[in-house]
Amino acid sequence: MGELAKLSISEAQRGLAKGDITAFELTEDCLKEAKNSTKLNAFCVITEELALKQAKAADQKINEKKNAKLTGIPIGIKDIFCTYGIKAQAASKILSGFIPPYESTVTKKLWDAGAVMVGKLNMDEFAMGSSNETSVYGPCINPWRAADNRADLTPGGSSGGSGAALAANLCLATTGTDTGGSIRQPAAFTGTVGLKPTYGRCSRWGIIAFASSLDQAGPMTKTVRDSAILLSAMSGYDPKDSTSMQMEAPDFESFLGKNIEGKKIGIPREYRIEGMPAEVEDLWKEGTRKLAAAGAEIIDISLPNTKFALPTYYVIAPAEASSNLARYDGVRFGQRANIEEGEGINEMYKKTRQLGFGEEVKRRVMIGTYVLSAGFYDAYYIRAQKVRTLIQNDFIEVFNKGIDSILTPTTPSSAFKIYDKAKQNPLDMYLNDVFTVTANLAGLPAISVPSGKDKVGLPLGLQLIGKPWCEGELLNIAEVLEKETLFDRFPQKWW
């Protein structure tokens, strides 16, 4: 039991095509693994009945030679995607009981491509967090453990359940969303591959909004090739999303397998931050060496406004969150607080939000409300947008000079203990996004590739940032880095 669930998408595709396995067997194995892994708390809903129904239909299509790219492939869906007839809470109490009467564009594309839904995955509440500790379902646990300590570790966030489910082999792939690093950081913490596409590549329609100018859906997978396969299915223009780019999604898998001789890889000096652990620095140097050995030209570059990225992000993202979350009032859907006789609608709004939102969401809504308020709008929000433009211009200038991709660490550390940072200073948690937020502010594609382990055996990732709309080229470079990095990519089972 569990052997089929360990397959990658590409391996499963070959097995299904040859008739060595069936979609029903593959799905059944993933469901068993998911149901037997409750200690990880990766799934908030397991959709067994639907999954087996989809798997039977997939086998019929395969037998009739009518199968699509993902026919019979079991995947998990982050709880932030609306799924028809299946609850979608964004891990928040305020959305208790919300069952969407519609399907998000991304998940519809996946079902149209033949994918099978194993269930919905745990996450930080409204995608606000870097540790999956703010969830109404409780924290998700990383399948990895340190060699010298059996303590529970965070899988990262906000797509923590997506990363944990992959690392534990509970499904073959998962979806995530990335607003400031919420795909790439958990990918680094769980030894998986996480890709944030160019802003506008994947539709945001039907995804519960956090920060609308930053949110982007993307694949989380076991291999770079699988990310290419899944991204092709997820991408494409959507008239229901005004930020969706009017371009066809290419076959990203076709970009893989090419040599990178002569490709120019930028190494930004500003990412060498004070206090960076030596093992992260060493990993970065080793990744640079491997790409150079594969024929790439390594060039030192400067992104001078990087130092402003984190404060800029934590003005813009909360501002947009405070606007988006104003719709949760207890009137039309979700939880509604009871009010005393004589209290009016304002009291009902106040109590509903007080009881329905968690502490981190309240914190960010308050920050966002403050920076958008009269007297502070120009000083904070408008200034942050101007700095965002400077950060975007840094990347434009570098890419205009011929740089093909930029290599950085994904995170400043490996996975940390559950509640370890939150108990100290919640603001320290924001520093986990120090290497990832720039790609969101600039709208660029970026991928985290598992690249080694730290001294206690926990996975570490390296990040590649690419040119806009050049995910194919980015994936090809990432696959070269992946092939040059050999280590045990999956944890020993303890759960």
Active site residues: 78, 158, 182
Cis peptide upstream of residue 235 (ω within 30 degrees of 0): no
Please answer whether residues 189 and 152 qualify as being in contact, where contact means their C-beta atoms are separated by less than 8 angstroms.
Answer: no
Structure tokens at 166: 């992959």
Distance in angstroms (rounded) separating the CA atoms of residues 261 and 200: 30
Distance in angstroms (rounded) separating the CA atoms of residues 423 and 64: 56
In the DSSP assignment, the letter for residue 480 is H
Distance in angstroms (rounded) separating the CA atoms of residues 186 and 175: 12
Query: Residue 1: which residues within 8 A CB-CB, separation 6 or more?
Result: 29, 32, 33
Residue with tokens 């609608």: 345
Strands 116-121 and 297-301: unpaired
Please answer whether residues 197 and 216 qualify as being in contact, where contact means their C-beta atoms are separated by less than 8 angstroms.
Answer: yes
Which parts of 357-457 fold into alpha helices (H)?
359-372, 383-400, 437-442
Strand partners, 115: none
Distance in angstroms (rounded) separating the CA atoms of residues 461 and 475: 15
Distance in angstroms (rounded) separating the CA atoms of residues 182 and 437: 10
DSSP percent split of the chain into helix, strand, coil, nearest 5: 40, 15, 45
Distance in angstroms (rounded) separating the CA atoms of residues 269 and 3: 44
Cis peptide upstream of residue 158 (ω within 30 degrees of 0): yes
